[in-house]
Structure 1
């Protein structure tokens, strides 16, 4: 699933002969905990900064763990193209036309193997399934945002249902596990079958197909546009952003980010509650 973007033809240099990063051509930003405030809104300052970036010729991509059905809060703020990468890279959506452009699903046999393995490795784990057109969950799974028509039942039965709908993401939740320990345990136990990450402060794991991440799908989208990794500025706050932040030429962590994200990024900006992404975009445009 990985993709390599073209290398720019030349590297700009400053007056002292030091190499400078090329002008950004694309901004890739996470949503929850990064671009959005804690009440899940987009501030007026952030709306203005996104519009100014697009006016300057910089594309804006929302790259999120959210499914497409949760993108209404930001759909109107991608005026140029309206494309978003959702479900941690498993889906590419046209937010304006509300249609799936590409999917990189988790194989059902791998999802079954993950469920079986985690039930043994972490007793008490429960599961939900995000498909291209529906959401399914176990009775023990606290699905606060489920639709009224969502299917409920054992994960093994749910995975056998609706075979025509690819599985974008498997979710594993535990009521009392330490989130980082839960993630490490799952990777060790079932890492041969899927990619494991997390974006929630609780013990909630997000499980994608092998080789699928925010980074791999962002790289594909950039390659389609002839944009190199060093022409991308990325923003994030949680472990599910790490691959994307490592791939982008310039990476920012908001001040409220997970310690691993703060350690892995080249730049830091203010917290999401203080419009850190907007502040950084303003500085980029001023340069």
Structure 2
């Protein structure tokens, strides 16, 4: 039986560009919770940003694996966090800040972003997407411990070359392209899979009791690690190939439909003791 369901947010649970989870998604999460199935986001975002997708209702994201596994929450409390190496962030700043249409962003207070690099106007549409809870422009990288960081790259041709250059300069960091015009800045050898494993241990669950949903390269670790892994129909080729199961597209509430089926299976188990599989796992 599935006892923990974790979903990526952007382009998985919520279509990219949409500002909130659909009513069907919220209802499906609550249906899971009512049957004793924990739900949480598994996202590159932190808690303050996640709140905006759920109209601030913490009951929908009290548990989760955030900042690509660098921050793990259980019942609203941080049970694990991992910071980024300061010296290598300085290297990223040195390379990125002078580039046109680029910015290095570090986040504090769960959501507020500080950035070095090009102007707000030059960051275009990505400004609103990167700074959901506001942002502040700086001449140099602010001095505080950084858990979450990312890079805006408005030139699509530059993006892979920049990721390659930064990877060579910063051996302890990786720079996956997770959404358009964006590179995550994450610790090498650490990702969502490691964060999910920490939450799994907190809850005392086996691998088969965890179900994960994703769509992009920063989801690959957890899609490959957990047997009940699911890719949405709009997932990239890598995520689709890594997943055991496949559900509908983000824009069609694919994860919500799967969560409804997980809740139905849990209900049958609770009522009859039958160890039933959700419908999408029987297809």
What is the TM-score when the length of structure 2 is the normalising length? 0.77
Deviation at 1:246, TM superposition (A): 1.4
Residue in structure 2 matching 1:76, options 57, 60, 63: 57
Note if contact 2:151-2:184 (Cα within 8 Å) is conserved in structure 1: yes
**Aligned ranges 1:1-287 → 2 under 5 Å:** 23-38=1-16, 39-72=18-51, 73-74=53-54, 75-76=56-57, 78=59, 82-93=62-73, 100-116=78-94, 125-132=102-109, 134-140=112-118, 142=123, 143-144=127-128, 145-146=130-131, 150-154=135-139, 157-158=140-141, 161-163=142-144, 166-178=145-157, 181-182=160-161, 185-186=164-165, 188-190=167-169, 192-202=171-181, 204-284=182-262, 285-286=264-265, 287=277
SS at match of 1:212: coil
Question: How far apart in 2 are the matches of 1:267 and 1:148?
Answer: 34
Report which of the two has the higher share of helix: 2
Q: Could you tell which deviates more after superposition, 44-53 or 86-95?
A: 86-95
Measure, in 1, the Cα distance between the counterparts of 2:170 and 2:242.
Answer: 22
Distance 2:117 2:169 in 1: 23
**Cα distance in 2 for residues equivalent to 1:167 and 1:34:** 26
Aligned counterparts of 1:191 and 1:266: Cα–Cα separation in 2: 33
TM-aligned CA distance change 1:262 to 1:251, over 3 Å = same
CA spacing shift, 1:252–1:186, aligned 2, 3 Å: farther
Alpha carbons of 1:132 and 1:189: their partners in 2 closer, same or farther (altered >3 Å)? farther
CA contact (8 A) 2:92 2:104 kept: no
Counterpart CA distance in 2 for 1:82 and 1:183 is: 35
Q: CA deviation at 1:63?
A: 1.0
How many residue pairs match? The answer is: 254
Distance, in Å, in 1 between the alignment partners of 2:249 and 2:78 is: 32
- Structure 2 unaligned regions, length at least 5: 266-276, 278-283
- Structure 1: which 5+ runs fail to align? 1-22
Match of 1:11 in 2: none
User: Normalising by the residue count of structure 1, what TM-score does the alignment of the two structures yield?
Assistant: 0.77
How far 1:125 moved relative to its partner? 4.3
The CA RMSD over aligned residues, in Å, is 2.9
